[in-house]
Structure formats: structure tokens, C-alpha cells
């Protein structure tokens, strides 16, 4: 009797792909972040956030923040697990770390915006009415030039519009003497000493300013004056070094 032949052993080849798990987690986090950012950006269209429903807007922002935090924690845990197991190449590791930093920044920005809107709708007793919320500066490519952004808010009672004028002055030193320069004299976008405003919730004033070569700025003074039935004044001074330290 002839000996029965045994079937030949079979081998399966599996492709080794370093960093696949973390790349998949990173891609998932990025798509989630992009969807959240797109929804958020839609609310900021046409010069400002449209408060068709302030409560709904706050709830949506809270949901987006929670989703981003959840994806951030998941991606970070994946990174920790893969770092411990040494299953990821250096390039994928660097990419994952960069995504983590971006997620942290976006979550921080969304939290800041959420706080901004909540403060408008549910302010403290001491901060109602017209407010100078913030003034920011960002360095431009040209020496001595900056992009500025001023944000005015109406806190608390937002049922009707508030209108008036806001003036911005740069206070500094020139030739060892104190000097005050109106924003109108430093920016091509500003034509008058007082910039007109009219809004229910908030309004941005943006543009570019260029400082004289021999002028040393020290402070930015903002004075907003509401007119009519809601007549009031809000004033705030910002330290130049604080505005430009970043």
C-alpha cells in the first residue's frame, strides 16, 4: 500500500505597517476636528456670530468642545500605548505629537469662544452693558506694522441694538516726551477719530497700523461711548508689552 501524501503546509504573509494604528487614530481625530471647525466657522460668517438662538449656540459649542476633548484623549492614549510598545516609527511619532498639539490649541480656542458667548448671555452683575472686551495685536511682515482687532460687546440686555463711537489712542514716548497718537493717524482703514459701531451682541473693528520709526509705544487706550437710550461709556487701557509678548 502506497504511503498517503500529507498536504503541503501553507504560509500567510502579513504586511508589517509601522505606525498604522496611530495614523488611523490621528486621521479620525483630524476629520472630527475639521467637522467641528467647519460647523463653528459657519456661525461666524458675514462679519460675526449670528445669534438666531443664543442658547442653542452655547449648547452646540459645548458639544463640539466635548467631542474634541474626547478625540484628544483617545489620540493621546493611542500615542502613549504605541510609544510604550515601540511599534511606531519616528516620523509617525512626530506627526502624532504635532496633531496632539493642534488639538490642544483648537480645544483651548473653542473654550475661549464658549466663555465669550456665555459671558454675553449670562454676565455677572458688575459687568453689564457696553464693554471693551479685548484688543489684540499681531506682528506684520513690515517692521513696526501690526494687525489689530478690537472687540466690543453688549453684555446682558441684548434685545435691542446699541450704537455710538469708539476711539483708540496709542500712548508712548518720542524724543523723551509723552505723546498720544490717534489710531486714525496710524491706520489707513480708520478715517475718523471715532469709529462708529452698532450691534446687539458684539462687533469687531479690524485693520492694520504702522508706528513711526522714532515712537516708542507704551499703552493702547480704548474709549467707547454709546449714544441714545443706552447712553454709557466703557474705557480700557492695554499694556503694549502684554499685547506684543507673543
Write out the E strands in 27-161.
Answer: 129-139, 145-155
The answer to whether residue 213 sits within a structural domain is yes
**What confidence tens digit (pLDDT) does each residue in 153-169 have?**
888 777 789 999 999 99
- Domain-ending residue, one of 76, 92, 121: 121
Query: How many domains, in total, are found in the chain?
Result: 2
How many Cβ atoms from other residues are within 10 Å of residue 123's Cβ? 17
Q: How far apart are the C-alpha atoms of 76 and 99, rounded to whole Å? A: 10
**What confidence tens digit (pLDDT) does each residue in 182-211 have?**
999 999 888 888 899 998 888 999 999 999
Instruction: Report angle CA 92, 93, 98 to the nearest 5 degrees.
Output: 95
Q: How far apart are the C-alpha atoms of 71 and 23, rounded to whole Å? A: 13
**What confidence tens digit (pLDDT) does each residue in 30-46 have?**
555 555 555 555 554 44
The answer to whether residue 111 sits within a structural domain is yes
CATH of the domain at 171: 2.60.40.2420
The answer to whether residue 13 sits within a structural domain is no
Using a cut of 0.85, tell me whether the model's pTM lies above it.
Answer: no
Do 112 and 134 fall within a single domain?
Answer: no
How many Cβ atoms from other residues are within 10 Å of residue 151's Cβ? 16
**Minimal CA–CA distance to 187: which of 146, 223, 151, 224?**
146
* Mean pLDDT, contiguous 10-residue spans, the chain (246 residues): 50 50 56 54 46 60 81 81 65 80 79 68 64 90 89 82 93 93 92 89 91 93 90 91 86
Domain that holds residue 96: 20-121
CATH of the domain at 77: 1.10.132
Amino acid at each position: 500500500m502506497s504511503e498517503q501524501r500529507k498536504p503541503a503546509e501553507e504560509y500567510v504573509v502579513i504586511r508589517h505597517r509601522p505606525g498604522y494604528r496611530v495614523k488611523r487614530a490621528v486621521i479620525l481625530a483630524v476629520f472630527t476636528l475639521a467637522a467641528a471647525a467647519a460647523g463653528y466657522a459657519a456661525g461666524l460668517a458675514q462679519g460675526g456670530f449670528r445669534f438666531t438662538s443664543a442658547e442653542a449656540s452655547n449648547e452646540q459649542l459645548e458639544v463640539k468642545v466635548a467631542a474634541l476633548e474626547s478625540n484628544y484623549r483617545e489620540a493621546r492614549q493611542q500615542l502613549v500605548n504605541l510609544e510604550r510598545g515601540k511599534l511606531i516609527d519616528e516620523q509617525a511619532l512626530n506627526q502624532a505629537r504635532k496633531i496632539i498639539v493642534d488639538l490642544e490649541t483648537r480645544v483651548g480656542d473653542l473654550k475661549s469662544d464658549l466663555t465669550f458667548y456665555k459671558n454675553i448671555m449670562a454676565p455677572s452683575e458688575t459687568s453689564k452693558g457696553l464693554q471693551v472686551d479685548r484688543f489684540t495685536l499681531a506682528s506684520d511682515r513690515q517692521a513696526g506694522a501690526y494687525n489689530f482687532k478690537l472687540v466690543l460687546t453688549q453684555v446682558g440686555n441684548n434685545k435691542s441694538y446699541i450704537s455710538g463711537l469708539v476711539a483708540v489712542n496709542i500712548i508712548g514716548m518720542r524724543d523723551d516726551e509723552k505723546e498720544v497718537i490717534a489710531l486714525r493717524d496710524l491706520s489707513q482703514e480708520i478715517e475718523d477719530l471715532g469709529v462708529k459701531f452698532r450691534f446687539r451682541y458684539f462687533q469687531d473693528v479690524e485693520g492694520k497700523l504702522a508706528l513711526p520709526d522714532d515712537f516708542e509705544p507704551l499703552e493702547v487706550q480704548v474709549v467707547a461711548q454709546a449714544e441714545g437710550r443706552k447712553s454709557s461709556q466703557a474705557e480700557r487701557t492695554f499694556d503694549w508689552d502684554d499685547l506684543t509678548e507673543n
